[in-house]
Chains A and B, each alone.
Chain A
Amino acid sequence: MEVIESGIGALIQPPDMNAFREWNRTQKSRRLVDKLMSEQEAIRRFVYDGCYIGTELYGTVRCPMSLVREVLRQGFKGLRVCGQGVTELDLWLAAGVVKTLDITYIGLEVYGTSSALRRAVESGQVEQVVEWSNAGLSWRFKAAAMGVPFIPVRSMLGTDTLKYSAAKVVKCPFTGEKVALLPALILDVGLMHVHRADRYGNCQVEGITGFGFEFARACKRLIVSAEEIVPTDEIRKYPDRTLVPYYLVDAVVHAPFGSHPGEMAYVYCRDEPEIKAWVEASKTEEGARAYLQEWIYDLPDHQAYLEKVGRERLERLVAGRERRE
């Protein structure tokens, strides 16, 4: 197949499907092993400097924020990151721990562009930035989930988004039309937050699934945090709800309000004042540093974070949740 066009962006994490198969054969147990551990242990065991790491879903929605904060607390750096990001990647960018980015969108949604992204990228502190569309990144996970090295799609064609990506354009051998080939993206470490999990890592979510299905299947190591740890019998009652089966998971962390200040569908709503506090603080480097100090580095763990947020405020977020009516 003739390559008609090649994106000039770096392939930050080249796909190796045979190595991935071998990894899954040798490093992922089929046994039901108790994987429940503290956030400190989960992050310490599986995250490392320079690893390629991703988060699901995104900053204000079912996002593993408590794990994101623990990554900073443990001082990991030189991270290679992919992202659809709001507050989660903002925190990492503001802390200066991101070395390269496969980016689709990092911003503050209704509050506009991300000051942390602007400082980190415009200064050249983030060394490489490779562009993708939102579906593009999700389809890259899908390719990895399918166990194939690339996936043909009809997005990104004809644009600078493709030119500054690591995609390739070829002529389809069946139709003769041009298609974009996106390389599979296998994460060294994935962080994901779910509604409930058992101690073996069987995970269920409610509401939209985002890119959780594909993401969980594209990770060499998957750390899951859950609002609730349930007995396996509960999982077995509703197996149709299981998005992520245990054998994909390496660590299970109990993290009530783990998505705070983001929301968790049907459990609690987003904490608008806290999101706005970050929007304001992150406008300057000093402000961002002070916020990180106060809300992350000065606190020992997620429990202390929740105590600082305060029970009354958390109860208000629960009261404001979306309800099934």
Chain B
Amino acid sequence: MSELSYNPTELLICTASRLMEDETTAFIGTGIPMLAAALAQRRQAPNLVPVFEFGGVGAILEELPIAVGEARTFHKALHASGICDIMETAARGFIDYGFLGGAQIDPYGNLNSTIIGPQHHPPKVRLPGSGGANDVGSLCWRTIIIIRHSRRSFVEKCDFVTTPGYLTGPGAREEAGLPPGTGPLYVVSTLALLGFDEESKRMKLLKTQPGVTVEQVIAETGFELIIPDRVGVNDPPDAEELRILREEVDRQRLYI
């Protein structure tokens, strides 16, 4: 097959979308996770149950939502509820996956979306804040983080830990009081698909994105990554994925 042309956003969407499993519940946030979920419902996961924090459960994503509370988040849905019920549903262990983003990520998958700089107030740069991210990172079974890859975003230490990954390492989540068996599973970046080492809970490279070398990933990461002996290469977005994204999911090109 000849090489298809696609942009970094399309690559992130397709990589994340393939990780969405049929007949699972998944917290969907604004932006790339919405596109990935809409794509997944048209591919391998027609019975994916998107969960939106302000109350939408089980929407059919025929039209792309652009906000986590808007009517498309409960379009032909099974349930239009409220935030307390949704977050309590996560607390009771009903939400399988949560998709998250952030401005910074550290080796343990902790995320920052609150401030940039050493001081909390007044800060050098004020970001939006946790929103539902902390709750999703605390209460879902497994989280999948979607983030653009650079030394500015992949940092040794987040300026502020908004959302818990594995915190300081093995056992730290449980020690903090978070439910056992939870934590980040994958990191989808513009350069790679990454996971976390079972023992140390530190980030490890799983696959590079097409056309990216392991050296490039290392050079663009601000901390030491675990590099296994064998590193695979992610399949590029295929023609059908790109067609669905461009012609059905994001016809108005709000994102891609």
Contact = CB atoms under 8 A, between A and B. Distances in A.
Contact of A160 (B70, B83, B122, B160): B160
B122 A136 contact: no
Contact of A158 (B72, B80, B120, B167): B167
Contacts of B175: 158, 178
Contact of A135 (B31, B125, B135, B160): B135
Interface string A254-280: 000000000101100110000000000
B254 A211 contact: no
Interface in B105-136: 110, 114, 120-135
Contacts of B128: 105-107, 113-114, 117
Interface in A131-188: 131-136, 138-139, 142, 153-161, 164, 169, 177-180
Interface residues of A, number: 64
Contacts of A54: none
Nearest to A266: B71
A209 B121 contact: no
Given A122-B123, A160-B120, A161-B162, 4 more contacts: A113-B128, A154-B139, A211-B82, A263-B70
A138 B87 CA distance: 10
A178 B177 contact: yes
A127 to B, nearest CB: 9
* Secondary structure class of chain A's binding surface, majority of residues: mixed
Among A128, A136, A154, A269, find the residue whose CB has the most chain B CB atoms closer than 10 A.
A154
Contacts of A179: 177
A104 B56 contact: no
Nearest to B162: A161
10 A-B pairs with least C-beta separation: A178-B177, A158-B176, A208-B55, A107-B128, A105-B131, A322-B71, A135-B87, A61-B69, A209-B82, A133-B134
A103 B128 CA distance: 9
Nearest to B163: A159
B139 A109 contact: no
Interface in B64-86: 66-76, 80-84
Given A128-B121, A179-B177, A104 B82 contact: no
Interface in A116-130: 117-118, 121-124, 128-129
Question: How many of chain B's residues touch chain A, expressed as a range?
Answer: 35 or more
B91 A210 contact: no
A131 B129 contact: yes
Contacts, number: 199
A70 interface: no
B135 A109 contact: no
B110 to A, nearest CB: 8
A154 B126 contact: no
B138 interface: yes
A155 B139 contact: yes
A219 interface: no
* Secondary structure class of chain B's binding surface, majority of residues: loop
Interface of A: 57-58, 60-62, 84, 86, 103-107, 109-110, 113-114, 117-118, 121-124, 128-129, 131-136, 138-139, 142, 153-161, 164, 169, 177-180, 207-214, 263, 265-266, 269-270, 321-322, 325
Interface string B147-186: 0000000000000111110010000110111110000000
A207 B80 contact: yes
Nearest to B120: A164
Nearest to B174: A177
Nearest to A156: B134
Nearest to B124: A122
A134 B130 CA distance: 7
A252 B110 CA distance: 45
B125 A118 contact: yes
Contacts of A265: 71, 74
Nearest to A208: B55
B53 interface: yes
B54 interface: yes
A208 B56 contact: yes
A253 B53 CA distance: 28
A130 to B, nearest CB: 9
Contact of B84 (A61, A132, A135): A135
B161 A270 contact: no
30 contacts: A57-B54, A60-B67, A60-B70, A61-B69, A104-B130, A105-B129, A105-B130, A105-B131, A114-B128, A118-B125, A121-B121, A122-B125, A133-B132, A134-B53, A134-B131, A134-B134, A135-B83, A138-B83, A155-B135, A157-B178, A159-B162, A161-B130, A207-B55, A207-B71, A211-B54, A214-B82, A266-B71, A321-B71, A322-B72, A322-B75
